[in-house]
Structures are given as structure tokens and as C-alpha cells.
Structure 1
Amino acid sequence: MNHSWVEINLGQLRKNIRSIRSAVNPGPEIIFVVKADAYGHGLLPIAQAASEESVRWFTVAYLDSAIALREILPEAHLLVMGYIDPQQIDLLFENRILPIITDLEHGLALASEARSRRKVLDVHLKIDTGMGRLGVQWDDVAGAMEKLNSAGGLNVTGVCSHFAKVEPNAPVDATLQAERFKVAMECVPPTAFKHLSSSRAALYFPEWDFDGVRQGIDLYGYGAADPAGRFLTSPILEWKTRVVQVKSVPPGFPVGYYGTHTTEYPTQIATVAVGYADGYNRSLSNRGDVLIGGRRCAVVGRVSMNWITVDVGPDANVKVGDVVTLIGRQGEEAIWASELSQICRTIPYEILTSINSSLKRKYIEQ
């Protein structure tokens, strides 16, 4: 009663994986992006379910996540897309984890640590083709590879880049990045595993699939609802809570901190167990909806730390303990993270990853 919870539909995740695989195969591997605790869905259960669907590649942002994955996925290819301190190289060898080289200095430092152990470390080379973040500049790859090869201690088994912008109706920027990536690929071993496409790129541009497509938000069910795309996916996460109080109030009744909402007619106000401490965005104050009994009900008053207040209407048969859906479906109505993100002027990624990780996750197969 005092806490919201999250339900993750692993059955829908499996359907999403199959939908993408049917579109991109034969050929490219699905590289499942499970950083940020699998976008707030729970790293280990999500990765385990994907592995059961024969997903063999996973990528994370930080080394500790990759180590946790290795414990349950002994045969998977695990790639860390963030910076790894060269002093942690023993963990890479022990856990068979692939780092990326973020720049020449980073690569030479990894090479030095590998040589000091008389070992050779498998790595992927990150190329900056226009994102402006991590990676060797695309037109510096030839020189960087020459110095890395001379240094020894490294085996460049893969090469990757990251799109800054993918617009299917105006692909000029993404096309430029793809062309730069192709030029840079000529400087790496021909056997290197090549991956460029993000979720959005894979949805519209099969020519950029290469050896693997990095799939993040699509697999969690967002960004792939366009019938013009190569595949369709559906959300796998629902966020629910319960009503903890219902009170009848007169017209002119102020609700919440500073009374930012005042009732216009006699109605019932339900207090619901969720707040910004749980990740329910404060921007939803007086703007969001929830689902109770299959009906949309408006969030009224400010979102507070642990509770929100909802106008359920004067005649609603709402009672303490009723389930409230914050994200998900009830009957014919649905509210998804994409809707909340528009209200909050953000993106579904932030809505999903902001859900407090301490909330209970329930994993279901449907």
C-alpha cells in the first residue's frame, strides 16, 4: 500500500527481439544495450531473458555492470561502451570483457598494461564520426592504428561509432557519419566486427546494419511504432501503485502544496502512493493522468515526495487499495512513457530510467 511497483513483461520482450531479428537477419547480430540497469527494467532478468532468445551480444556503460552480467552469461560477448581505467585491465582479462578505446592515449595505456602482463587484450575501437563524445576522430584513425599496432598488446577485434542524429526524412547528417565510418573502416583489420546503427538507424536504414545493430529503446518498446519502419515493438514495462485515501470535497477546495489546484465542483480526491522520490516527475503536477478502474483521472495539485492527488470524479466508485496504473494499460486506456515524456518535455529514456531502482520489479511472461 505504501509503495508503487513495476511489472516487466518478459514475454513482450521476447516478441520484440523476434520482431527485430526477423527484420535484420540473416546477418547482423542484435547487440542489446542494457546500460542504466537495462533502462530501469532490471539488468540481470532482462539480459537472462534476452539470452534465452539467443541474443549473444550485450553492451553496458560501466565495467561493474559487465562483471555482473558475466556471472549469468558465461558465453556472451560483453562490451563496455564507457571509459575503462587501464588499471582495471586484470578484471577485463578475468571476465573476458571487451573495452572500447576512447582515444589514442587510452589505447596506448591499455596496451602498456597488457604488455606488462605479457598478454594481448581484445578491444573495440570507438570512432567519433560526428557525435563529439568518446572516440578517435574519424580522420585520425589511420595514424592511431599505426601507433597502436606498433605498441603491441592489443587486438582490435571490433570498430564502432555512434550516430548523433537520425532523421529518416532528412538523413543527410547520418549519411555523412556513415560515410566517415566507411572511410575509417579501411584502416582497421578487415575481420573486425563492425557496428554503427542505433535503434532508430536500424529501424529505417538496413544499409548501415554491418555486423551488428545496437538495439536499446526499441527492445524496451519505444521508438518502433511507425508502420513505415522495418519492425514494430511494444512497451514491456508497467508502473503501478494503489489508492491510499479517498475523500469527498466541495467546490473551491484547494489541493496540494500552495493550493495550485482548486476544485470547480463537488468531487472526490484520491491520494495515491507515488511521488517524485519514486521517480514520478514533478512536471506532471496538474498535467498528468493516471488510470483507475480503466478510466483516465487527472493528477491535481503538485506532485509531492511520496504522494500524488487525483480527481476521480464525484460519482466514481474508487476505494482504498484500488490499483492505479501510472504507466501501462487498464482496459481500453493506456498511458506510456512516451506520453509522460511529452508532458515533461523530455524523452522516454529519462522517464524509464528515473523510476527508483529500489521499487520492486515483478517479472511476468505474457
Structure 2
Amino acid sequence: MSGRDVLKNCPLDRWAWVEIDLGALRANVRTFKALLEPRTKLMCAVKADAYGHGAVECAKAMYAAGANQFAVATVAEGVELRRAGISWPILVLCEPPLDAIDTLLAHDLMPSIYTSDFAFSLGERAVALGKVGRYHLAIDTGMTRIGVLPDDVVELRHLIDFHRGLECAGTFTHFATADVIGDWDFKQQSSRFSRAIAALEAAGLDHGLVHCDNTPGTVLHPELHNDMCRVGIGLYGLHPSATTEPRVALRPVMSVRARVTRAIYPAVGEGVGYGLTYRVPTPNIQIATVPIGYADGLARVLSNHMDVLVNGVRVRQVGRICMDQFMFAVDTSRRSLGSVKTVAPVECGDVVTILGTDGGQTISADEMARLRDTINYEVTCDFGMRLEKVYV
């Protein structure tokens, strides 16, 4: 994308934004669809506002590229999709509070079920409203997060299946270590899940769509694709671990950009930011201000440790990252001063890339995650909190 095109994306009221490349998103969906047999459905996780990318716009693009169903984390997330006109099946990846049942039924959202109390309440209310409460049965095969235990699956289904207000649309589990090749715990989880499905079939109980593979599972364990795969982070062009990187090529979807709002030459010895943790070491050091801070997802722990891109060059962020702004330094004297880059002077309005590519340089979510001692999931989710999203 040219510099002129990038400037066209800048919001009028704040020089800071997130760019979402819908073409890359659609390409990633098609990449995962190509891994599946024609009969196997693709459920796309758009929880947490599509991992910070914008759930509504992403869901529409995903469906156009071949998605079959969607998964969210909360009832409110599902309602948002419905109110935006998205009519395709939506699974809520938890068993919500009983007070949410009317909302579930009103918006045709499928909850995850693993207790009889919730199942009975859903069924009773569905009958009263002349509806059927469709759900997915969640099985806890070893992650110890949500779900009914494998040994209790058939008993729970026998207990609730008499209810004409309920319909099992799917049965699933979630793997804790699908990204670890040859992992014993993964093998145990998959074995427990297979036995639970076999027990349901032996009891003559309809399990609906069977699904267990997440993003790494979909890439590394095609033998477990079953009826549907639930893909999340990979759709956004990010790998869940190093083990999937050689297996599938993905295109990052998110870039984070801003424009310089101030560029000055402070006197030698002047400090920068709260606590004055950086001081200007020599003449000709330019300090530029950028209107993105930790309230926008740029973690304060990155202060004095991260780079940004300006005019295709890496430059060092200096001083403590503020709530709404940060600063970076450039040396315009053409001398080498360690971490401070010698570059042409920066001007007010210049584009700064915090995440993404500029020229031949790239700052990835993985790079930022390593500096933060976290994962790329958290990086993109954080940037999606406050910054305006521009779809390109």
C-alpha cells in the first residue's frame, strides 16, 4: 500500500487507526477451507470483536469466503452480529447465566450446555415461547475449563433428552495442547473425546455436528476434522505457535498506524515522558509524538523497548508510553548513536507504523508479543479496544 493510500485511511478526528485488510482475511479463510474435506464445515471464531479486528465486518467477509458458522464468547457478542443482519448459525462458547435464556432464544443463538439446570431452563422457556432451544454439548476432556466430564455425557443426555424444547445441534471439546506435536495430553484428550462420541452413538443419541479441532488442530491434526473445525487466530493471519508456521501460509490482517502530531529538537539533557526515563544525549536528536498510548492497546511495558516504522525505517520509541500518546527519537545528524537511528528529519503528519509493514520493514504481532512476554492474540485484541477501524 502506497503512502498516499495509507493517508486516505487516516480518520479526520484523530491521527491514529487500525487497518483491517479484508482481502487478506478472505484469503486466510480460503486457505483453511482448502485444508478441509468438502463435507467438513468451517466455524469461524469472531469472539472478542474478532480478536480486535471487528466482528461484524469480519464475519461478513468470512462468510463470503466460505465460512459456515460463527463462534462468540458472550451472548452480547452474538446479539451484535444478529443486529447487524448476520443470520448464519452462531455458537456461544459458554453456558450463560439463566437470565440470558430469553435473549438467546430471541436471537437464535446456540449456547454451550454442560449442566442439567441450564438445559431444563432453556427447554422450558423455549416451549413457552413456541421455539426449540438448539445447543452444543461441551465436553471437558482435560482442559478443566468448561464442559461435562466424558463419563457423565450419556447420563446428562438421557436426563435432558426427553424435553421437546431442546435440540442438540453439536458436540465439542477444546484442546489445550493441539500445537504440541506428539503431546501425550493431546492424545489423551482426543481419545476421551472419541470415546464420548462413541458412547453417545452406542446409546442412540444424536450428537449433532462433532467438532474439536481449533486453529493448530485444524493444521496439524486432519484426522480430527470430524464434521466441523473451529478456527480462530489463524483466520487473522497469525500462527498459534511455531509448529504451524511451516504447514500453512497466512497473511496478517491487522496493521496499526498513526501520524506524527509534533516533532521538535529538545536541548541536550532534556527528558522525555513521565519519569523522564529517556534524556536527549546529543544535539540533533528529534523527538516526535504519536497519538497512541496504552489505552489503545500499546502496552506500557514496551516503554523504551520497542521500535516503530517511519518512512520505511525502524526507529526507537523513547520515554514511558502514556495513556494516549508515545514518543520516538531520531538522530538527524547522520552520526551513529547506538539505538537511535540516523534518518532524515521527521515532519508533522508523517505516517508511523506501530504494527505492520512499511517499505521493506515489518513489525509483527509476534515481535510485539515477545517483547511483552505474551501471545499475539492479546496484542491484536488490545489494539481493537479504542482505535477506529478502517477496512481496506
* TM-score of the pair, normalised by structure 2: 0.87
Please tell me the residue identity of whatever aligns with 2:125.
E
In structure 2, stretches of 5+ residues that fail to align are 1-12, 334-343
Count of aligned residue pairs for this structure pair: 364
Does the Cα contact within 8 Å between 2:90 and 2:109 map onto a contact in 1? yes
Q: Secondary structure at the match of 1:165?
A: coil
Which stretch shows the higher mean deviation, 163-172 or 126-135? 163-172
* Residue 253 (1) aligns with residue 265 (2): no
Shift of 1:303: 0.3
The residue number in structure 1 matching 2:354 is 326
Shift of 1:139: 1.6
Q: Going by fraction, where is strand more abundant, 1 or 2?
A: 1
The residue number in structure 2 matching 1:128 is 140
Does the Cα contact within 8 Å between 2:289 and 2:327 map onto a contact in 1? yes
Q: Secondary structure at the match of 2:67?
A: coil
Please tell me the residue identity of whatever aligns with 2:165.
G
Shift of 1:65: 2.0
- 303, 307, 312: which one aligns with 1:285: 303
In structure 1, stretches of 5+ residues that fail to align are none
Shift of 1:84: 2.5
The residue number in structure 2 matching 1:214 is 230
Please tell me the residue identity of whatever aligns with 2:292.
V
The residue number in structure 2 matching 1:200 is 216
Which stretch shows the higher mean deviation, 234-243 or 223-232? 223-232
Shift of 1:230: 4.0
- 142, 145, 149: which one aligns with 1:137: 149
Shift of 1:264: 3.2
* Residue 244 (1) aligns with residue 261 (2): yes
Q: Give the Cα–Cα distance (whole angstroms) in 2 for the partners of residues 317 and 283 of structure 1.
A: 27
Please tell me the residue identity of whatever aligns with 1:264.
P
RMSD after superposition? 2.1
Write the mapping of 1:91-102 to structure 2, written as runs, cut at 5 A: 91-102=103-114
Cα 1:155–1:163 shift into 2, 3 Å: same
* Residue 223 (1) aligns with residue 235 (2): no
The residue number in structure 1 matching 2:28 is 16
Shift of 1:50: 1.0
Shift of 1:270: 1.0
Please tell me the residue identity of whatever aligns with 1:235.
P
Which stretch shows the higher mean deviation, 343-352 or 87-96? 87-96
Which stretch shows the higher mean deviation, 112-121 or 279-288? 112-121
Q: Secondary structure at the match of 2:265?
A: strand
Cα 1:347–1:157 shift into 2, 3 Å: same
Cα 1:288–1:279 shift into 2, 3 Å: same
Does the Cα contact within 8 Å between 1:145 and 1:187 map onto a contact in 2? no
Identity of aligned residues (%): 34
Does the Cα contact within 8 Å between 2:94 and 2:112 map onto a contact in 1? yes
Write the mapping of 1:106-185 to structure 2, written as runs, cut at 5 A: 106-117=118-129, 119-185=131-197
Shift of 1:103: 2.5
The residue number in structure 2 matching 1:296 is 314
Q: Give the Cα–Cα distance (whole angstroms) in 2 for the partners of residues 32 and 3 of structure 1.
A: 32
Does the Cα contact within 8 Å between 1:78 and 1:97 map onto a contact in 2? yes
- 318, 327, 330: which one aligns with 1:312: 330
The residue number in structure 2 matching 1:4 is 16
Q: Give the Cα–Cα distance (whole angstroms) in 2 for the partners of residues 187 and 103 of structure 1.
A: 18
Instruction: Provide, for residues 181-214 of structure 1, a one-character-per-residue CA deviation record: whole Å limited to 9, x for no partner.
Output: 1111124335610110111111211111111111
Shift of 1:90: 3.7
Shift of 1:117: 4.2
Write the mapping of 1:271-282 to structure 2, written as runs, cut at 5 A: 271-282=289-300
Q: Give the Cα–Cα distance (whole angstroms) in 2 for the partners of residues 358 and 41 of structure 1.
A: 11
* Residue 345 (1) aligns with residue 362 (2): no
Which stretch shows the higher mean deviation, 50-59 or 224-233? 224-233
Please tell me the residue identity of whatever aligns with 1:346.
T
The residue number in structure 1 matching 2:115 is 103
* Residue 360 (1) aligns with residue 372 (2): no
Cα 1:2–1:121 shift into 2, 3 Å: closer
Does the Cα contact within 8 Å between 2:179 and 2:243 map onto a contact in 1? no
Q: Give the Cα–Cα distance (whole angstroms) in 1 for the partners of residues 287 and 99 of structure 2.
A: 57
Q: Give the Cα–Cα distance (whole angstroms) in 2 for the partners of residues 321 and 130 of structure 1.
A: 52
Does the Cα contact within 8 Å between 2:211 and 2:226 map onto a contact in 1? yes
Q: Give the Cα–Cα distance (whole angstroms) in 2 for the partners of residues 285 and 351 of structure 1.
A: 15
Instruction: Provide, for residues 82-111 of structure 1, a one-character-per-residue CA deviation record: whole Å limited to 9, x for no partner.
Output: 233344434333332211103233223323
* TM-score of the pair, normalised by structure 1: 0.93
Instruction: Provide, for residues 46-97 of structure 1, a one-character-per-residue CA deviation record: whole Å limited to 9, x for no partner.
Output: 1111111131200111122222322445541111112333444343333322
